[in-house]
Amino acid sequence: MIHLIEPVRPEKLQWQLVSKLAAKRAMTDHDDWCLVMSQRLSMLNSKAADFLAESLVAMSSTCLSPGMSEAPDAYRSLSPGMSEAPDAYRSLSPGMSEASEVYGSHALPSPSPMHDIQIQLGPRRKRSKYITNSCSECRLKKRKCSNVRPCAMCIVTGTGAVCQSESETAPFYTIIRGTHEALFQDARDQEIALDSLRQACLQVGVNIAMVRGQWELGLNASRVFKAFKILPLDLKLAIDEAIDTVKSAVLGSPRVLPGDLDAVRRMQDCGRLSHDLRLDEDSEGSSSRGWGGVGEWFDDAASNARWGHGRWVSMEFDSEDLAHCRRLRLGDEVAELLGYDAGEMLSRHSNHEMLLQVSEYEMLVAAIESLFHSLDREVTWYSRVTRPQRGPDEAQKGATQSVLYLRCTQHKAFDHAGRQKGYVITMDMATAEAFQRYKNGYLPPSMRMSAPEKNVEEAVGREAIVYMRKSQTAGAEKLSFLTEVVRRRTRDLKLS
């Protein structure tokens, strides 16, 4: 009997090749993650062992008897620097040495050093199991609350406005003043909210410098956390290295006075990295030195006459503590440009419910672009925004989507010491080709195009981070290329 061999289809071969490649990349990513976690665990164990050895030395020195001058070999082996560590357990009972001489060395068993040190330390305190003042959302979902308003978990999940409304002292983030201006809370309430943001960043493993700028503009932080917390490990490490490089460049600059180091460190801990290291240079219009003093620059910069249009958003920091904000002002046209009413936009900003219909990958690219221009006076990025647009016969046609291509420029304002004291973001209309040229710099060569895709909703869906992580072909290639871009620009920043 002759068996006919069925020919293998090219589509099946291609699918098998893609599956093997995806499995190989997944294994490589997992191996790299295990290697990095192993190194971090080894470093943590080493630090814990050194700390324990130093604690034993300090503890045993307090129990040293007057007649003792040498330590047993067990204590010398704990740490290389402990050559003269005292014998702690002999000092627990003053008469133990005399009893050993009378009854012999085997009459009394030598207690364990670790056991006696635990006697010196006393019993450990039990950790409390419950938070007495949990918010309603955390009680409903049975999760640990950080006991502040808004709590860290509500910021991560996007229910910060509900959590904030339970506060009796600060019911709102900001105080709306007119139709185009809002004042922020006092320093104490802002510090509470900022501390919640720090805890939320620690829980999800996202650097606060990647979130702070979007959070203070009223964007929903939960969407940022949802996208950035599942980034590949190598990309997260590359971004953290870039942030540390910017911090070191500012703190190590001779232009930063020693008296300003504490203020600069506090701003960096709160996610503000921008600093002007070119104090001797004067750029017309790019620095606040041409705008007047601390109180004058904001009124001059936050006006339609300054920019020739009303498509701008201005933010002023608190002069007493630059880590906090003082007031926000909107241009006459920016709310309508983004599809909001002016009052609605201020209300959404106060509750951190601003929603911009942009892809998560483009949002990540904009954050990285701002990061590498932290030491510049201006930073420009392009954005593609979709907004609902209603036609003349709304009952028949319903809502349709319109696409806007914007060229956004952040003009930073600095004080006499080079510390940032505010900024203005202007928005100009751009073409689709200009947007695509900007985006091509963050895409692999095989994915670069001359014009963006026509189906915007499908393109935005494919650029969700969770979709890109699941896709082991195009999505993984994009994120891998972005990692190399961040590493290359970090090396250039170190050499500059």
Among the listed residues 220, 232, 496, the one whose alpha carbon sits nearest the alpha carbon of residue 372? 496
Q: What crossing angle do the helices spanning 233-251 and 360-372 adopt, rounded to 10°?
A: 30
Among the listed residues 479, 457, 451, the one whose alpha carbon sits nearest the alpha carbon of residue 233? 479
Q: Are strands 312-317 and 420-429 parallel, antiparallel or unpaired?
A: antiparallel
Kindly list the domain boundaries of the chain, sorted by start residue: 224-495
* Residue-level pLDDT, tens digit, the chain, 496 residues: 554 445 555 555 555 655 665 555 555 666 677 777 777 888 888 888 888 888 888 777 765 545 444 444 544 444 444 444 444 444 434 444 444 444 444 444 444 444 444 444 455 555 555 556 788 888 888 888 887 778 888 888 888 777 877 766 554 556 777 788 998 878 888 888 888 889 899 888 899 999 999 888 888 888 888 889 899 999 999 999 999 999 999 999 988 989 899 999 999 999 999 999 876 555 444 444 445 444 578 888 999 999 999 999 999 999 889 999 999 999 999 999 988 888 889 888 887 888 877 899 999 999 999 999 999 999 999 999 887 665 554 444 444 578 899 999 999 999 988 999 999 999 999 999 999 999 999 999 999 998 888 888 888 888 999 899 988 788 899 999 999 999 999 999 998 8
Among the listed residues 90, 84, 76, the one whose alpha carbon sits nearest the alpha carbon of residue 120? 90
Out of 3.40.50.300, 1.20.20.10, 3.40.640.10, 3.30.450.20, the CATH code matching 224-495 is 3.30.450.20
In angstroms, the CA 451 to CA 454 distance is 9
